[in-house]
Each structure stands twice: as structure tokens, then as C-alpha cells.
A and B are shown apart, each in its own frame.
Chain A
Amino acid sequence: MYKFEKTFVVLVASLLFMMSFSVFAADGQNRVGSGPNPYRDCGIGAAIFPNHHVAATTSNVIWDLGTTAVTSATMSPETCSNVHAKTAKFILDNYDNLIEDVAKGEGEHLVAALDMEGCSSNKQADAVTMIRGNIGSKISLAEYSQKAKIDRAADYYYAVTFASSSCLI
């Protein structure tokens, strides 16, 4: 009897675990925090900032930057319709600040991204913990260090939008 109970518990636990994984996977396919790579597939990648030298020579000459990429993203094919273009662009443009924020567990840029995704301020601590766990489990892997910035930004985007989906205002 004891053996049966133990087997039953293990089976149920395994089933629940598989179900939760399936839910997560389905989540990843169909809802916020998933879908196409916003940068490679939806036209946002064109908004990468110029390097230091170019920025220096245009510091007082900024003209017609900032909206083109968002427009192109929102005009992209249907598969991109769920991409939150403004958040995606922000993450790509400010990746260095954002990855530091999540490593430290706090920061203005991270809060801004969560605000943009509609995550209420009283739930942001939990969201940050979730994002930190998500990114933290990948960042030490060898394959992560080989990733291009645009793919790291995509990982970050998914982590933020997924965490935000549980803390909407």
C-alpha cells in the first residue's frame, strides 16, 4: 500500500511537472514573451546606436532618429503583431544597462521596461526575481557568451514580457 501511494505521488508529481512544462511551452508559443525574434524578424534591429565616434560627432546634430524602427516593426507581418516594439527597441538600445540592473536586482532601466510592459509597481519585485532567475540560469553558459547582442536582447525581451504577464496592472 505504502509502495502504491509512493508510486502514485511520484506519478502525479511527474504529471504535474510535465503539465506545467507544457503550459510554459505553450505560453512560450502563443502569448506575450514569445513569438518571433523581435530584432531579426520584426525590423527593430535597425535601431542599434552608433558607436562612440559617430555619437560624438552627432551629439549636437541629432536628427530624425528614434521612431523609424518602431514604425517598421508595427508595420511588419502578422507574426510580429504581438511584439511590443517600444519595449523591444528599448531593450536592444539599453542592453548593457538592463543586464546590469537584473544582475544587481534593481535599477532604473529595468523598472522602466517593466513599467512599459504594464507591470504594477507593487509586483515588480517578484517580476525582477523571475527575470533574474531566468537570465541568471543562462548567462554563465558557454553558448550565451557566444551569442550576438541582438540574441541576448531577444532573451531579455522574452524574460521581461513573460515576467510582466504575471503582474499586469
Chain B
Amino acid sequence: MLFKLALILIVFFSMVSVINAEDYNADQVIQLAKELRLSKHPSWVKLMHYERNVGSLPSLVSAIHDDSFFNSKDGAFDAYAELEATIRAFHTPISDGAVDSHAQCKFPARLLWLKKSLGKATDNLPMVYCPKYTKWVLNGSIKSISVVYASGFLGNPASYYGHILLKLNSRGSNGATRLFDPSVNYGAIIPSNEDPITYITKGVFGGYDGGFSQTDYYFHNRNYSELELRDIWEYEINLEKKDVDFIAAHAWEVLDKRYTYYFFRKNCAYRLAELIEIVDGVSILPSNRLFTLPRTLLQNIYDSRIHDKPLIRSVDVRPSRQSRFYKKFNLLTRSERSELRKVVDNGKGIFFEVNNTLSTDSQVKVTDTALDYYQFAKSAEIMTKDEADNLHHKALVRRFQLPSNNGTAVKSSLNPPHIGRKSSYVQVGVTYNESFGSGYSIRIRPAYYDVLDAASGQVKNSALTMGEVGLFAQSGKVRISHFDFLKIESVNASSTNLLGDTADAWKIKFSTQQQDLSCVDCLITRLEGDYGYALNLNNSVLVSAYFGGGVQDNRKGSGRAFIRTSAFAHIKFTSSFNMLLGVQLPKQLDGSNGQKNRYVLEARQRLGINSDIRFSYEENKSRQYGVNVGYYF
């Protein structure tokens, strides 16, 4: 009996001794973290968003300048101080009524990472229940994460290159309930009524704070798909549950925290990529140090792998109202289109005369297309809101009188934006000019596309260029032929020719360029713009006509102001060969006669996904021919 008692006591005390050995207090945990050099660990650096402070001290500074993100007063630049303060804060006893403000509730990703890094040393941390955070992670029901891409929108400079946000997919998420999934969005915080010049200048040079906000996904779905008519793409990331939880936890930490917003590099795509890169083994940020394009990020994500599996599990699309309307319209038969035209063109919302011969199915199709048309017409400002709402209501009344659909939703045929070429472009070739002979031409376009090479996810028949430079080399001398600060060509090509769906088109360009082709030393700076209409003659030919003008600095008799008419045709011979033809007829307003008619032809043959060859002819006081090979990177 005594032997048994002694044995029990020995076992008991040895257990107590073991528990004591694991019973770390805050100081001991900090010491262990110090020995493991956790403050220099890449994950800690990423969690704290430390960035290199080139050329000055301290060498690392957090991108977040928000005191509430740090537990130490020096946390913004002292990784060790912040680590130590964070461990201490995690050990702080829970105070009544303030659970959500406990450090474990505010920084759940740091907690997850420290538990993983320090193991049993963190077992003695107080157990804290965090109601708000638990609600954020949907009681642990987040099953995956999707990167969401809204295609480019030429109506707002901040959206030219598309927009990226993050969606947390709940466990029950399917085609319906995902509208309520939480989404995380990064954007600049801009005062209301900011003027455009200030908006662009401060956006580019870091004059605005930026930050993450969260809202239900349907907000973005409505904003982009219905109001701005932009297609939305969802890229579901192939991560394990623990990694999904880690990202969701870190997203919670950075919500409402203040960064500095930079339109070109440290923008929505950059900050969203950082959130995903918090997972070990994920490297998706584009290497370009000047700018981060959302589409390039998508391509990086799509091409990445984790644990020998593709990083992307699935790609899904939400076509915009405009895309849905065009898709439905294109599926209508000739007689159905004719009926739709009658309905739309009469402008009174009168559906189906008594003697109508359309079948019930056809009437359903026509009415459904009309519903899309009126919503599209409202968002595109083809008609006033009241007018569109009134006609939409009449279409609805008619639709209620027809049978319900039965799972016959129209499937989208849009190409996802990650497909196709890269976004930056370099071109080299030979050029012959009648006035000064032959030479080499070089063209570098950081981004994004021109009329001939618009890829999936970009606006067809349109162009968007920033910072394109063209050079001409001859006899050892290199001269600038043009530098485009900004060039936008927007063609809303009509797919239907329905009432109001006439395709307006506009162009704007701010550049430094040679006055004409007869001179290589006549650079002028010019701001020019045109407005007109475009028309799809068929699936292969689009024609457009414009009236416009411009102002420029007067050099060698170039004159200061002009107006012009112009016309263009874009012809697609095959899926890989297309051509642009154009003529511009200017008239100087100051009698200087400095501008001559301009005629252009440019033909593009795609060689591979990331390469092409182009032949060009241009006449503008002199004639010039060129053959150039291009590469996308």
C-alpha cells in the first residue's frame, strides 16, 4: 500500500514538474521568441507590412501608419519591440466588457502565427472569445478565398486598368448565397468633390491615405456589374483551410488601417497580393517595380502553384448587364429581334400586339432581353432614369403574364482576363521615311493596349496607353518620335443598333510628338480630343467617324489650335490578323497652315501569345513605311 502511494506521489509530482516546465509566462515566451529570432522572420515582417526604407534609417518601416495597428509605440519601425509588446498584450488578462479590444481579438493572425512558431510555450495564454472577429470569420465557416477582378472602366481614371478585391467564400457558398459573402476592398480615401487634377496628382504621388474596407459582396456586384457595366471575374484560390483562416485573420487585422495610396505601384492589386502572400510559399506580386496591374497579378496568380498544385482552383464570371443583354440579343431569331425592335423603337413599352405570331417561348425571350435593355440603357445613360424605369416596369408587367423560366439561364461565353498576352510591350523594327531615309524604330509601352491588340478583359476596338515612348535611330543618333503621356480611345461599339444603342466613341491624347513626318527635330506638345460614332458593319468590320480638335505649342509654324474631322476602320481578317485604316483632315484655326492631312494604315499579325509583327504606312506631309516585331512582357 505504501509502495502504491509512493508511486502515485512520484507520478503526480513529476507531472506537476512537467506542467511547470511548460507554464511559460510572458517574459519566458519573449525570451524564447528572441532566441528563435522571430522578429526577423519573413512572416513577421509580412504581418507587420514592414517595407525597406531605402537610403535612411530605420531600415524597415511599416506601410501602415496607424497607431492602432501597433502594440509598441515604436512598432512602426522596430520589429522586435512590436513582437515583445504583442506577446505581452496577448498575455494581458481579459477585462470586463472589453473582449473585442483585447490584443488577441485585434490581431488574430499574429496569434495564429506565434502559436505555430512557439508551440506549447503559448499554451498558457488566456483564452479570449472575440465576438466581432468570430462574426467576421462566419464562425469558422469560410471555406476558401477568391480574388475578384472587375474589368477596366474608361469612365474613371482610377478604374482604367480594372480593379481587384478579395472575397471570403462561406462554407455554404454557392451560386446564390455568395452574394452575401464578406469582401475586402482596398482603395484610396478621397474627400468628396475633389477636382480631377488634384485627384490624379495626389493619387499618383501618394497624397491620399488608402485602406481596406469590408462589405457584403453584393454591393460590388451591383456597383460594377449593374451600374458601371463591367464584367466581374472570380478566381478561387486553392489553399488549405488553415491558410484560408490565416488570410481571413490577417484581413481582419488590417481592416480600416491607414496606408499611403499610390495609384501605379502600391494600389489595390499590390495590397491584395500582400494579403495572399502572407501564406508561406505564395509569391504572386508582379516583379515590375514601377506599377502593379491587376490583370498582370491575375496572370501571376493563375500561373502559380502551391504544394505542386495550381494556385487557382476555379474561375467564374459574372457578366455585366450590358454583356448579358448583348448575349441574349445575339441568341434571338430574326423574328424575335424584329419584335424587340418594335417594342423598343415605339418608345412606349408596348409589348406584343394581339395578332402577334410569336410563340410563348419567343415572347419570353424578347421580354427578358427588353428587361436587360432598359437596365443597360439606364446605366449607359441612353435614356433618363425615369424613362428607363417606366419602360422597364411595363416590361415587368408583361413578364409576369408569361410563364416562369425553368433553369434556362444563358451561359456566358466571355474569355477570362488572365488569358492572352502580357500587358507591357516593346517593339523594334526598320522604318523608311521619304524625307530622311531609313533607320531603326523602337517603341516601348509600359501598358496597356491599342486598337489592334486589345486582349480579353480589355475594351475591344479601344486603346489605353500611358507613358508610351517611340524612338527613331539613324546614323548613330536617337531621336524621340513621340511620347504619349496618356492616350485613350473608347469605342462603345453597338452590338444591337437598337434605339439609343448607337455607339458613341471618343478619343483623348496628351503627348509630345513630331509636328509631322517631314521633320525629326520638330517636337511639339499637343492636347487633342475627338468625339464621334462607331458602327459595326458586321462581326469583322467596325467603322468610326469623329469631329475634334486640339491645342499645341507653336513651333516652326505648326500653329496653336486646330479642328479636324477623321474616320477610321478596324478590320479583322482572322482571329490573329487585323488592320487599322484611318484619315485625319485638320484645319488650323490661326491661319498658320501648319497641319496637313494624315493617312494611316497599320496591320498586325499575331505570331504567338506574346509576340506580333506589324506593317505600317503613314502619310503626313511625308510618307513613312515600317516593319516592326513586338514582344509582350
Contact = CB atoms under 8 A, between A and B. Distances in A.
Interface of A: 49, 51-52, 55-67, 86, 90, 93-94, 96-97, 99-100, 103-106, 108-109, 111-112, 115-116, 128-129, 132, 135-136, 139-140, 145
Given A93-B219, A112-B179, A57 B156 contact: yes
A88 B256 CA distance: 26
Contacts of A108: 175-176, 179
A81 to B, nearest CB: 19
B265 to A, nearest CB: 15
Contact of A56 (B153, B390, B392): B153
Given A59-B163, A65-B215, A112-B176, A140 B397 contact: yes
Given A58-B190, A62-B213, A96-B392, 19 more contacts: A59-B150, A59-B159, A59-B223, A60-B187, A63-B189, A65-B219, A66-B219, A67-B215, A86-B180, A90-B180, A93-B218, A99-B396, A103-B371, A104-B405, A106-B406, A106-B409, A109-B218, A115-B177, A128-B404
A106 B405 contact: yes
A55 B404 contact: no
B487 to A, nearest CB: 21
B268 A61 contact: no
Contacts of B156: 56-57, 59-60
Given A61-B189, A66-B215, A56 B226 contact: no
Contacts of B368: 104
Contacts of B187: 60-63
23 contacts: A49-B227, A56-B228, A59-B150, A59-B153, A60-B158, A62-B213, A62-B223, A63-B187, A66-B214, A86-B180, A90-B216, A93-B218, A94-B222, A96-B392, A104-B399, A105-B403, A105-B405, A106-B404, A108-B179, A112-B177, A112-B180, A115-B176, A132-B404
A61 B190 contact: yes
B621 to A, nearest CB: 40
A104 B396 CA distance: 9
Nearest to B229: A52
A93 B222 contact: yes
Given A100-B371, A103-B399, A139-B397, A55 B180 contact: no
Chain B contact-residue range equals: 35 or more
Given A62-B187, A63-B187, A52 B381 contact: yes
A56 B155 contact: yes
Interface in B122-156: 150, 153, 155-156
Given A112-B177, A116-B180, A60 B218 contact: no
Contacts of B153: 56, 59
Contacts of B490: none
A108 B225 CA distance: 14
Contacts of B163: 59-60
B507 to A, nearest CB: 19
Contacts of A105: 403-406
A139 B400 contact: yes
A122 to B, nearest CB: 14
Contacts of B175: 108, 111
Contact of A104 (B155, B218, B227, B404): B404
Given A105-B405, A135-B400, A139-B400, A60 B159 contact: yes
Contacts of B375: 96
A135 to B, nearest CB: 7
Contacts of A139: 393, 396-397, 400
Contact of B400 (A66, A96, A112, A136): A136
Contacts of A49: 219, 222-223, 227
A90 B215 CA distance: 12
Could you say which of A62, A65, A129, A135 has the most chain B C-beta atoms within 10 Å of its C-beta?
A: A62
B495 interface: no
B218 A94 contact: yes
Contacts of B211: 63
B268 A60 contact: yes
A5 B480 CA distance: 103
B329 to A, nearest CB: 16
A115 B218 CA distance: 14
Q: Which 8 A-B pairs have the closest CB atoms?
A: A105-B404, A66-B215, A111-B176, A60-B158, A103-B399, A136-B400, A61-B187, A112-B179
A132 B385 CA distance: 25
B227 A55 contact: yes
Interface string B219-248: 110111011100000000000000000000
Interface of B: 150, 153, 155-156, 158-159, 163, 172, 175-177, 179-180, 185, 187-190, 211, 213-216, 218-220, 222-224, 226-228, 256, 268, 368, 371, 375, 379, 381, 385, 390, 392-393, 396-397, 399-400, 403-407, 409
A132 B393 contact: no
Nearest to B189: A63
A59 B228 contact: yes
A16 B124 CA distance: 67
Contacts of B404: 104-106, 128-129, 132
Nearest to B165: A62
Could you say which of B176, B188, B211, B227 has the most chain A C-beta atoms within 10 Å of its C-beta?
A: B176
Nearest to A110: B176
Contacts of B390: 145
Contacts of A97: 222, 226
Given A66-B216, A66-B219, A67-B215, A109 B405 contact: no
A56 B159 CA distance: 9
A100 B370 CA distance: 11
Contacts of A55: 223, 227-228
B33 to A, nearest CB: 35
A111 B177 CA distance: 7
A20 B370 CA distance: 39
Contacts of B179: 90, 108-109, 112
Contacts of A63: 187, 189, 211, 213
Nearest to B219: A66
Contacts of B405: 104-106
A96 B215 contact: no
Nearest to A65: B215
Could you say which of A55, A58, A61, A105 has the most chain B C-beta atoms within 10 Å of its C-beta?
A: A61
Contacts of A93: 218-219, 222
A57 B220 CA distance: 14
A51 B226 CA distance: 11
B411 to A, nearest CB: 14
Nearest to B193: A57
Nearest to B378: A52
Nearest to A111: B176
A41 B414 CA distance: 43
A28 B113 CA distance: 52
B213 A103 contact: no
B503 to A, nearest CB: 19
B188 A60 contact: yes
Given A60-B187, A63-B189, A52 B379 contact: yes
